[in-house]
Structure 1
Amino acid sequence: MEDDFKSALALLGGGAVILAGLSGFAYWLFKLFSEKWLTAKFNERLEAYKHQQIKELEEFRFKISGLLDRTTKLYQREFEVLPEAWSKLVIAHATVESVVSALQQHPDLAQMNPNQLEEFIQKSSLNQWQKDELRSSPSKTKYYQTASNWVRMWDAQELCRDYFVYERRNGIFIRNEIKDAFNAISRLMNDALLEYKFELQFGDTDYRNTLERWAERRKFSKQSKQLLDDVEKIVQQRLWDSQDAFAPSP
């Protein structure tokens, strides 16, 4: 009986050992596969995260590249437009200043001999029909003064128009503060020229007194030159800033 009991205990002990071994093996298998599963999941999520980061980085680089490309093109266009607009404005201003000036000099055609007169008429800027009328006019000097004033006024008007059209076409590439300064000078030119044109057309029949008739021209004379000097500095600074922005680093 006692031997049977001992045998049973031995059997139970062996079973326990086997059971413990099986449990340990099962735990080892569970731990092994769990670690592999967790590692696989971690790597999977890590790769997905890396892929998302790379995608976002590429999108960011694309946006930055597009922004830089657009900025570069805008700077380049501004660098082309601004000097041209300035040039047209300066030429128009100088022409208007000469045309509307109170100090006008005209040649005395009465002092010319026939050959001199004909050569002068041929080289003048008058239209052909005006040249023909000048040849037959009894008051050649007066006719020439009036006709040449109209021609010069038309030329100045065309230059002002040339600037205006260019600015309207390309003003989107010019900064507002510069464009506003340009247009302030343009308005002074146009007002002075319009007043001068009115003077040519109606002369002394205008009801206004002399000071009133010259109001816009005096305003142009007093304000436009200083404005032009101020704008020149602004334009120069802007152009140099644009150049420095894209200059290679030292």
Structure 2
Amino acid sequence: MTPSEFIITVVTAGGGAGLVIYKSLKHFASSWLEDKFKSRLQEMVHDQNKEIERLKSDLTRTFDRIARLHQQEFEILPLVWDEVHEAFWRVASLVSAFQSYPDLNAMTSAHLKEFVAQCELDAWQKAELLEADDKSAKFRFFDYWRTASLARRAHLSALNKTSRHAIFLPESLKNEFLRILSNISTALVQHEIYFKHPVRASSQDSTDKIEWMRDAGRKEMNQLEAVIRSRLWSTPIEMDAA
């Protein structure tokens, strides 16, 4: 029996006295319903507040994670760019069509000894250089492989840096770094082969990365620099939108 049915039964059975009881019971029922409503409302508000707090907590964790990732990218991106830039320009200098070397054959004995002493060559290379008939050619040979070795080290360092920190780089930038580094490596290998065996393929050959280093590669490095600068100077929201 519901509260309403109970009240009607009491009033019907009690006559005038039932009217008094009816009013009392009506007030009781009204209070009961009001209390029930308030209790239910409080439960709903409590549940809603719990859900809001859960959502706030989830959002806070998400934003914290995003902020940390962007901070990592902000710190890592310039480091990777610096290494790739160093590798590119070391190899670009090596494969440049314009090379200048001193004429050791025209130097006086005193000048030659002083020059060789200051060269960044190993002791045995300096000894061979002083004894060589064509000192200029010998110097170009030693200097080329010294420069090529430094360029290869710079390339490997850039590749390791990019691979190690790839998880903090946007996929598009990581792929662009790796593509450029691959072209740099190919250009270096091709130039070493051409240095040993001076028979050059046509510069129109699409696989000739030496020509890429001298022209298209420089333009692509400038474009990549602009993209990186844009990311570093953008807000996290703008970066995510991009």
TM-score tier after normalising by the smaller chain length: 0.7 to 0.9
- What is aligned with 2:3? none
CA, structure 1 residues 126+64, in 2 after alignment: closer, same or farther (shift >3 Å)?
Answer: same
- What is aligned with 1:230? 223
Query: Could you report, residue by residue, the CA deviation over 1:193-236 in whole angstroms, capped at 9, with x for unpaired residues?
Result: 01112233x324xxxx4235993312332320111121122112
> Alignment partner of 2:229: what SS?
helix
> Alignment partner of 1:105: what SS?
coil
CA distance in 2, matches of 1:24, 1:123: 120
Which of 180, 184, 191 is residue 185 of structure 1 equivalent to?
Answer: 180
- What is aligned with 2:71? 76
CA distance in 2, matches of 1:244, 1:33: 58
- What is aligned with 1:39? 34
Query: Could you report, residue by residue, the CA deviation over 1:88-124 in whole angstroms, capped at 9, with x for unpaired residues?
Result: 2222111111101122111111222333223322322
Q: Is the CA contact 1:75–1:242 (under 8 Å) kept in the aligned structure 2?
A: no
Normalised TM-score (structure 1): 0.80
> Alignment partner of 2:215: what SS?
helix
Cα shift at 1:135:
3.1
Gaps of 5+ in 2: 1-12
- What is aligned with 2:233? 240
1:210 matched to 2:200? The reply is yes
Query: Could you report, residue by residue, the CA deviation over 1:5-51 in whole angstroms, capped at 9, with x for unpaired residues?
Result: xxxxxxxxxxxxx9433211321232232222222222221111111
Whose radius of gyration is greater, 1 or 2?
1
Amino acid at match of 2:42: E
CA distance in 2, matches of 1:145, 1:155: 15
Tell me the percent identity. Answer: 27
1:219 matched to 2:212? The reply is yes
Cα shift at 1:166:
0.8
Which of 105, 111, 116 is residue 110 of structure 1 equivalent to?
Answer: 105
Query: Could you report, residue by residue, the CA deviation over 1:60-81 in whole angstroms, capped at 9, with x for unpaired residues?
Result: 1111111111111111111112
- What is aligned with 1:164? 159
- What is aligned with 1:29? 24
CA distance in 2, matches of 1:129, 1:242: 56
1:153 matched to 2:148? The reply is yes
Normalised TM-score (structure 2): 0.83
- What is aligned with 2:6? none
CA distance in 2, matches of 1:48, 1:115: 98
Count of equivalent residues: 224
RMSD: 2.4
